[in-house]
Structure 1
Amino acid sequence: MSMTSTPSPAMERAHEGYVHDVMLWSGQRAFVTAAADFVRQGVLRGELALVALPAARLRAVRAALGEAAEQVRFAEMESLGSNPACIIQAWVDFVAAAGDRPSRGVGEPLWPGRTGVEVTECQLHEALLNDAIPAAAPLWLRCPYEVDALPDEVVEQALHAHPWVTESDGTAHPNDAYLGDDLGATAFASPLPPAPAATIVRTITPETIRVVRDLVLHVARVCGIPDDRAADLGLALHELGVNSVLHGRGSGTLRLWRTSQALVCEVADDGLVADPLAGRLAPGTEEPDGRGLWMVNQLCDLVQLRSSGEGTTVRVHTWL
């Protein structure tokens, strides 16, 4: 398609504000064509575009865009979304850079091969995207899901988390399967699965924060985690320990265990994190709180945060 083409009716914006839609796809060639057409039509309309996909699909879409690719931003989702809690900031920054200019994006946070805990956090991320972007922002964000390669329950959850759905001809319309804007907050307040019975357990107090950090460093090295990554993990657990002391009624509980894939470090306390987006958005210079959780997400491989009136749990996974 030449750069002088006009947008097809199917690619017209669904409405003037934020559109977060799910596109269920099957077949690599069909996906690449549909994704490239969607992005190209935005470029033709003078919109900004960001494509964040796994590397192989990213290369294919870039090639299919031809000369239009010169006006598109690209990001490899394996890097951007390795920790799903880091993805929202990228879209928030993209919207801020666009200002009042309409924009569109393609983002695939959940692809075949993601581990169970990664799938869980991608699903929470998708639900929270409905809260993170202002309703009036002129962003059309499309999230593709490969139906032939993902479990049925993952596809079903994707439908529940997106207010809009895209048909095979590119037409977007409101999604009857969407479960509502409270989905993210509800998931954020739901407890994580219990920690295994055989764990290392320590109490975190002002006097033991340093001991807790040293213990984490020691266990990480015993697990074969390189020194630089162990140091990042120790710093993250120090921040979580400080948060527990400051906001968890003066103390918290550290649990450590190992799975076949990761060293898992959990900090739990009686505090409450009221904002489900805490740690996902960079705190402003005038904001005294939130820096610790933001730092933890930047330092660690994968972070799970859940909070309710029953308390707060932060579970950090470091891949082995």
Structure 2
Amino acid sequence: MRPFIYWGTISILAILHLQAVLNLLPIAIPVYVTAILVLGTSYLLNRKMLLHIDSLSTKVNGLLFVMQGMLLIMNIFGETSWTNVVPFGLFLSIEGIRLLLSQKMFYLSKSVRDYEEQREQFNETYRVVRSERHDFLKHISSLHYLLENHQSEEARDYLGQLVEGYEETNLSIKGERGVVAGVLHQMYRRAKSSGIEVVYDIDIPLSSLPLSDKEIVTLAGNLLSNSIDACEEWQAANGRQATLTLQFYKRSGLFLMICENDSPAIPTDVLDQLFESYGNTTKGEGHEGLGTKLIFDIVAKHNGYLDFVHKSQKFTVKIKIPAVV
């Protein structure tokens, strides 16, 4: 169901319901006043709320609308008294149930998608490690052959290529639990495939954070994904290679995570509320701005601190989380 169809239908029903209640007042309230009140409320809710009505099937949405319509008939054609408030209250209750169910269904579906994505990332990382281990003796044999034949320069170049390939995997998996290693490795490969220079300066494993694996994956995954998106946009606009740096270390009882990337300009109104509410995004249509709010919620849940700055085409996010379980 498209948002404008939902808001249009629910606004008409609300206007008729509310007008039936207001008709009980000793003074006459014009219907246009009721319409302005309802439409104004709908507009504000549409700006503030992130709706997931599509998470419910057309049949479920239709059934709820039919129930609300039946309540409207009771309200309009029933005996005029203060009992008319009851159908209006039931109308609002049904709408609350719709919004709650749609939100639950959306996050349930998202959890399933996230699980599938994490499983794929883990499997891909495992496949890469197995592949590298499988070929390791072959590489040693090749180096041995080159050295035996006094081809030291060729051996040095070959070893340099090997180290570069192994370093990519090692940066992501050293000391990390499976799903965390998976998301780090997948983001590293995605950035590299886009021509972005990636630096993981990780003192201790991200898995050391006093968070669940799911929260670490959500935190790091959204942080890196947003940074890569910004780098890709910056590269397209400037024609130069962008840089993304992720630092993680522990100091004085605090875990510190710093993510810095090249970034195009961000509108001030988006920047001001970037991590505070849903729906703030620089990616255009098709993106809901969920990632930044999820990052903020996880940090806040663990009594952490989040700060960010955008200056000279650089976007930096600093996260501090107490080292307390």
Same fold, judged at TM 0.5 (above): no
Compare the two structures and name the one with the higher helix fraction. Answer: 2
Compare the two structures and name the one with the higher strand fraction. Answer: 1
Q: Please give the TM-score of this superposition, normalised by the length of structure 1.
A: 0.24
Higher alpha-carbon Rg: 2
Q: Please give the TM-score of this superposition, normalised by the length of structure 2.
A: 0.24
Quick one: higher RCO (CA 8 Å, sep 6+), 1 or 2?
Answer: 1
